[in-house]
Amino acid sequence: MTTIHSLGFPRIGKNRELKFALEQYWRGEINAESLEATGQELRVQHWQIQKNAGLDYVSVGDFAYYDQMLNHIQLLGCEPNRFDFTEQVPELNRYFTLARGVANEAASCCSGHTPDNQGTWALEMTKWFDTNYHYLVPEFTADTHFKLNSSRLFDEVAEAQALGHKVKASLIGPLTFLYLGKEKTASFDRLDLMEQLIPVYGEILFKLKKMGVEWVQIDEPILCLDLPVEWKAAYEPVYNRLNAAGIKLLLATYFGALEDNLVLTCNLPVAGLHIDAVRASQQINHVIDRLAHYKVLSLGVIDGRNIWRADLDQALAAVEIARARLGERLWLAPSCSLQHVPVDLSAETALDDELRSWLAFAVQKLEELGALKVAIDQSVASAEHAFSASRTAATSRRQSTRVHNSDVTDRIASLPTDADQRRSHFKNRQILQRSRFKLPLFPTTSIGSFPQTKEIRAARAAYKRNELTADGYTKAMQAEIELSVNKQIQLGLDVLVHGEAERNDMVEYFGEQLDGFAFTQNGWVQSYGSRCVKPPIIFGDVSRPKAMTVTWTSFAQSLTSQPMKGMLTGPVTILQWSFVRNDQPRSSTALQIALAIRDEVVDLEQANIGIIQIDEPAIREGLPLRRADWKAYLAWAGRAFRISASGVSDETQIHTHMCYSEFNDILPAIASLDADVITIETSRSDMELLRGFGDFNYPNEIGPGVYDIHSPRIPTTEEMVRLLKKAAEVIPAENLWVNPDCGLKTRGWPETEAALANMVAAAKALR
């Protein structure tokens, strides 16, 4: 018999029950017992779903009230000393303090940001590999001590066992746990903590064994990264010692290929190995070649990172070769935890039948696994229903005219090779743009959005519910645009924006107007804590039926003779924050989006909008996990951006914005985007990160953010003057712009106005 299992199930709940319970708890509307009751209900449901799908084990250890790394910080007893918890503080209170700090959670404007807190700041948050999920970063110092300090995992195991489930417990492996943490004191290596950490893992494994758990999945996804030699070398001794606990370990790797870590991984003394067979099917046979005869191999054949229905015939064919070699030692699973896909497709009643037939969310993915098991252990005929649905979907996707649009493919085929180049060199453009706009030295601008007030959200909601007419909605948004434009004029800003009042989200807004995109009603995926995102689904060739932003921008421009900056989201960011097609390379989809944005840029220029910003906050997070793949990625991503930006004349000024500034390793690629102006986040690094641009002799203009928009604090003129002086030490003053770190949509008007007034004063002081 083939064993099937899952690496993890989304915990947020089919209707985001966990999110709502958490937020009620944080607001003091429900107590801890009632939050715990919701958590338990969700686990019970999720285990039942796994059982119904025919899984041989249910997963325990994938549930978390906020984050799985945070669960491990408590399990392993390494809450940082700076929180200074007294004995009396209950575990759950400590948990949320670690996650959210002592003051309340500051809003995070964009994906990739660490919310900033007053008081005891929360643990830092960062992206989990190349997903849009954020984990809390463990902090390590030379004094870090570990001890088994939470019974939560064991309680959950007992809970599942009491329901009669066969349990596979899951843990984040010790090397991955340490690797993903940060050293908080100098001249200390967190790997030195391993000696202390192993006994605690040993204790956990021993306890699980005593509870009758047969298998423990131990996640070591860092084995799919480029690892420093010391880390590679640590694997064998660590696993030799963990193996001594006498429980079966299933070492789980995912998000890529093992490559240079393949031999090392295959030789580790564990009872089983899981590999990602979706992103790296080429490694299957190499792994089997190296696998000792007693080990099981779990193949992750169902895509845990995307929402497409599997092609079961294809999956079966791939698996059958492995089955012939491994017999019953073959296990099957999704490629990674299903926490990266929405819960249940059956909630999507608004999608048309055809499109829905192409998709599979977490529940459906487990059913696919069940069908594969039946096909292998019995016959395809016994799983005929699932296989024929999969076949029909694959054929209709291949042939559908909704997917394939020859106008798009023809346009791409005939795209001139220099379509990604501006007409002349930046130096020439700069002269033309300077004489066109006649901006003062240290020109001031903002990043695009202004406060998304209650009124704006209420108007949008009313419009969606048909309680406000299209005309009424337009009028309401125009009023907001006018308000923001007038405020900017009063504040004395040089380059204005319309304020993005009409945008719910910087990707959704464009996706809704582009062909080739679909939207779910309930396709939520956890981003961090209670925050969920609902990524659009790019299912077909992308094209732009009509202009998307010109009316709003022109309206804003009609209110002033000052330059009004058009505001667009770039192709790489739209790609990165969506579920994308798996029937063509990401680069092809990026290029299609780029052409749609290019058309918008050209239309804006035609409408006399002389400055256009194309936001690309996600370029950096799109970097592949392995350095060897960076070059190719940066080449197509950069070209996509340039394609979107290069349809205009030299006098039109293209801006881009990125909400981070750690560019050091990709500066040449950033410079090659050739945006006339780039605005970046720098205030929190005290301008230090701008040095890289200076050392690199970054050629074009830069607006290093002079204040942090994540905090309601109002920066003083003096501190911004100081930051700008620092910036002028590394970048020629005539190339500097003055702007906040990012958009202001999460802020309120009073603090926004006060901060911008000081910012304008700082720029004036320097002129």
3-state secondary structure at position 233: helix
Closest of 63, 219, 231, 225 to residue 130, by C-alpha = 225
Q: Which stretch of DSSP H or E encloses residue 737?
A: none
Q: Is 484 annotated as a binding residue?
A: no
**Do 35 and 13 meet the contact criterion of CB atoms below 8 Å apart?**
no
| Whether residue 710 lies in the annotated active site | yes
The residues in 119-178 that bind ligand GLN, with binding defined as CB under 6 A, are: none
Q: Which partner, ligand GLN, Zn ion, none, binds residue 448 by CB below 5 to 8 Å per kind?
A: ligand GLN
The reply on whether position 567 binds Zn ion by CB under 5 A is no
| Binding-residue pattern over the window 486 to 505 for ligand GLN, x denoting contact by CB under 6 A | --------------x-----
Rounded to whole angstroms, the Cα distance separating 116 from 708 reads 9
Amino acid at 587: S
Closest of 7, 14, 38 to residue 343, by C-alpha = 14
3-state secondary structure at position 266: helix
CB of 111 to ligand GLN, least distance (A): 7
**Do 608 and 556 meet the contact criterion of CB atoms below 8 Å apart?**
no
Q: Which is nearer to Zn ion, 612 or 742 (CB)?
A: 742
The reply on whether position 238 binds Zn ion by CB under 5 A is no
Question: What is the number of the residue whose Cβ is closest to Zn ion?
Answer: 659
Q: Which is nearer to ligand GLN, 603 or 615 (CB)?
A: 615
The reply on whether position 506 binds ligand GLN by CB under 6 A is yes
Neighbour tally for 291: CB within 10 Å: 19
Burial group, residue 469, by CB count within 10 angstroms (0-12, 13-18, 19+): exposed
* Of the residues 447, 496, 609, 678, which one makes contact with ligand GLN according to CB under 6 A: 447
Sheet holding 58-60, edge to edge: 3-4, 330-334, 296-302, 272-276, 248-252, 215-219, 167-172, 58-60
CB of 708 to Zn ion, least distance (A): 11
* Of the residues 245, 659, 680, 727, which one makes contact with ligand GLN according to CB under 6 A: 659
Contacts 24+ apart (CB under 8 A), 158-165: 158/211, 159/40, 159/43, 159/44, 159/60, 160/43, 160/47, 160/58, 160/60, 161/211, 161/212, 163/44, 163/47, 165/47, 165/51, 165/57, 165/58
* Of the residues 61, 138, 221, 617, which one makes contact with ligand GLN according to CB under 6 A: 617
CB of 114 to Zn ion, least distance (A): 13
Give the binding range for ligand GLN (CB under 6 A) out of 11-19, 183-191, 231-239, 447-455: 447-455
* Of the residues 110, 238, 594, 687, which one makes contact with ligand GLN according to CB under 6 A: 110
Question: What is the number of the residue whose Cβ is closest to ligand GLN?
Answer: 743
| Binding-residue pattern over the window 59 to 98 for Zn ion, x denoting contact by CB under 5 A | ----------------------------------------
Q: Which partner, ligand GLN, Zn ion, none, binds residue 506 by CB below 5 to 8 Å per kind?
A: ligand GLN
As given in the structure block, the two tokens for residue 425 are 């060199």
Q: Which is nearer to ligand GLN, 116 or 615 (CB)?
A: 615
Q: Is 340 annotated as a binding residue?
A: no
As given in the structure block, the two tokens for residue 667 are 């500066």
Q: Is 109 annotated as a binding residue?
A: no
> Whose structure tokens read 């229905």?
309
* Of the residues 448, 529, 638, 704, which one makes contact with ligand GLN according to CB under 6 A: 448
Q: What is the DSSP code string of 646-674?
A: TTS-TTSEEEEEES----GGGHHHHHHT-
Give the binding range for ligand GLN (CB under 6 A) out of 52-60, 339-347, 410-418, 442-450: 442-450
Neighbour tally for 622: CB within 10 Å: 18
Q: Which is nearer to ligand GLN, 439 or 447 (CB)?
A: 447
Q: Which is nearer to ligand GLN, 323 or 620 (CB)?
A: 620
Rounded to whole angstroms, the Cα distance separating 204 from 202 reads 5
Q: Is 19 annotated as a binding residue?
A: yes
**Who's near 661: CB < 8 A, 6+ residues apart?**
680, 681, 682, 685, 689, 690, 692, 704
As given in the structure block, the two tokens for residue 277 are 């067979």
Closest of 703, 731, 638, 674 to residue 425, by C-alpha = 674
> Whose structure tokens read 């008007």?
749
The residues in 107-136 that bind Zn ion, with binding defined as CB under 5 A, are: 110
As given in the structure block, the two tokens for residue 191 are 């790997």
The reply on whether position 659 binds Zn ion by CB under 5 A is yes
Q: Which partner, Zn ion, ligand GLN, none, binds residue 705 by CB below 5 to 8 Å per kind?
A: none
| Binding-residue pattern over the window 726 to 745 for Zn ion, x denoting contact by CB under 5 A | ----------------x---
| Binding-residue pattern over the window 596 to 625 for Zn ion, x denoting contact by CB under 5 A | ------------------------------
Q: How many residues bind Zn ion (CB under 5 A)?
A: 3
Amino acid at 551: T
The residues in 550-569 that bind ligand GLN, with binding defined as CB under 6 A, are: 567
* Of the residues 615, 674, 676, 753, which one makes contact with ligand GLN according to CB under 6 A: 615
CB of 477 to Zn ion, least distance (A): 22
Q: Which is nearer to ligand GLN, 55 or 497 (CB)?
A: 497
Q: Which is nearer to Zn ion, 73 or 742 (CB)?
A: 742
Q: Is 18 annotated as a binding residue?
A: yes
Rounded to whole angstroms, the Cα distance separating 132 from 35 reads 25
Query: Phi and psi dihedrals of 175, rounded to 5?
Result: -70, -45
The reply on whether position 302 binds Zn ion by CB under 5 A is no
Q: Which residues are annotated as a binding site for L-homocysteine?
A: 447-449, 500, 615
Residues of this chain that bind ligand GLN (CB under 6 A): 109-110, 447-449, 500, 506, 567, 615, 617, 657, 659, 742-743, 745
Cite the annotated binding site by residue number. 16-19, 127, 132, 447-449, 500, 531-532, 577, 615, 621, 657, 659, 681, 742
Active site residues: 710
Binding annotation for L-methionine: 447-449, 500, 615
- The residue ranges that bind Zn ion (CB under 5 A) are 110, 659, 742
